[in-house]
Amino acid sequence: MRKLFRLLFFVALVTSAQPTFGQTATDTIRSLDSTWAHSYAVHDTVFARSILAEDIVITATNGSLKTREDEMGDVRPSPGFTVDYFRSKDAVVRVFGGQSAVVTGLLEWSVRNNDRASVVRRSA
């Protein structure tokens, strides 16, 4: 079964996606967080790759370490694997120095691996 995770630390997200008129850095990060989560449901590897640093190290839910390319494997479509939804809720964003942010909240997803369904809710 795929191991899905919640990114706790978005390296340099604020500088890579500048707020639009009337939008704060927190609003921008919250929007990116939501779009990041949705990228798993729609298998949007282009967006997912664009917000993950090349040298990011991700700690998966089982404690293993993953590279950006390892994580792309969770975003890409896979035979027999269907994502019904993958979403973030109640995101709390803390921006540090205009260069990085920490997002915490609830992540929930529903997937099917062949005909086996799984619904998960995780706080992060």
Query: pLDDT tens digit string along 28-76?
Result: 999 999 999 999 999 999 999 999 999 999 988 789 999 999 999 999 9
Rounded Cα distance, 93 and 27, in Å: 9
Position 2 in a domain: no
Please give the residue range of the domain that contains residue 50: 9-123
Identity of the amino acid at 47: F
Position 18 in a domain: yes
Q: How confident is the model at residue 17 (pLDDT cuts 50, 70, 90)?
A: low
Q: What is the pLDDT of residue 14?
A: 41
Position 70 in a domain: yes
Position 104 in a domain: yes
Q: How many domains does the chain have?
A: 1
Position 101 in a domain: yes
Residue 3 has pLDDT above 50, yes or no: no
Position 97 in a domain: yes
CB 10, CB 21: distance < 8 Å = no
CATH number for the domain spanning 98: value is 3.10.450.50
Tens-digit pLDDT profile for residues 72-90: 999 999 999 999 999 999 9
CA gyration radius, the chain? 14
Give the pTM. 0.74
Position 59 in a domain: yes
Position 76 in a domain: yes
